[in-house]
Amino acid sequence: MSPEPIRIAQISDLHIKPPGSLAYGRVDTGKALERCVAALNEFKPAPDFVVISGDLADTPTTEEYQYLKRLLAPLNLPFAGIPGNHDSRELMRTAFPDASYAAASGPLDQKIEVGGLDLLLLDSSVHRKPHGALEAPTLGWLDAALAASSDRPALLFLHHPPFKAGIWHMDRQNLFNASELDPIIRRHPRVQLIATGHIHRAALTMFAGVPTTICPAPNHAVDLDLAELRKPSFKVEPPAFHLHTWFPGEGFGTLVTHQVPIGTFDGPHPFFGLDGKLL
């Protein structure tokens, strides 16, 4: 019998405000996370783990992290978070003191083993700046963590995309030192996916020869203004999360990413009638 698939849900850019406050005066990010947690709890088969890829809080404040923890309390699945540009390393360490951080101070990098899969969570936050960068300790830790095994598939998670997505005001705040990440990825072919956030909308490219994604958000999306027509804007589009499934198989295995919309939708309806014929 082949080993069971491993399912990693990714949610991103929660932007939790104090209770009763709306993000940008319009978006109830707390309610959006409540709906997201319900969708994760209801999903079958249950994901094995949930990664929150940054911007957990919005300002950030201690009150926001406390509210975030209350909103995440009903989640029936194990989870870990990495900081985004809206987060604070210190406040996150205080809010989640039991996380498996790679170092006692500095970047909040984590390695998490889920069955035969390694999740490497990289802290790309830069204090009080919107752009991202991987500090030397994080790059060194990543290289060593990947070198520790050659036969375990690894998924990398970080907040800032290491590529330009074509949205002008986000491209100037992506991962500034992607060129330093590139050779590390290429040295370790066990990396199967690089999964990011920050732009609140799904995107896919290749980086360092590896599929690289952006995860949509449970709340609002950065406007897909590829023509540079508007000032930085957002739209409230259908919320979603990503489900990365590792199928162990011949040789190494296969990773498949599904986008899962959050909400109640018409269906499922059968394709075939009682007579077995296509309806």
Residues near Fe ion, by CB under 5 A:
55, 84-85, 198
Nearer to Fe ion, 64 or 118 (CB): 64
Min CB(1)–Fe ion separation in Å: 42
And the tokens for 151? 């036969």
* Residue showing tokens 């590390």: 184
And the tokens for 194? 């690089």
By the 10 Å C-beta count (0-12 exposed, 13-18 middle, 19+ buried), 236 is classed as exposed
Min CB(190)–Fe ion separation in Å: 28
Nearer to Fe ion, 68 or 145 (CB): 68
Min CB(276)–Fe ion separation in Å: 50
Min CB(15)–Fe ion separation in Å: 9
DSSP character string of 173-204:
TSBTTHHHHHHHHHH-TTEEEEEE-SSSS-EE
Q: How many CB atoms lie within 10 A of CB 276?
A: 6
Closest residue to Fe ion using C-beta atoms? 198
Handedness of CA 182, 204, 133, 123 (dihedral sign): negative
User: 204 with 224: CB under 8 angstroms?
Assistant: no
Nearer to Fe ion, 60 or 84 (CB): 84
And the tokens for 262? 């959050």
Min CB(248)–Fe ion separation in Å: 33
Cis amide prior to 60 (ω within 30 degrees): yes
Nearer to Fe ion, 7 or 198 (CB): 198
Min CB(183)–Fe ion separation in Å: 25
Nearer to Fe ion, 57 or 154 (CB): 57
Decide the pairing of beta strands 117-121 and 125-126.
unpaired
* Residue showing tokens 């996370």: 33
Nearer to Fe ion, 129 or 187 (CB): 129
Q: How many CB atoms lie within 10 A of CB 218?
A: 25
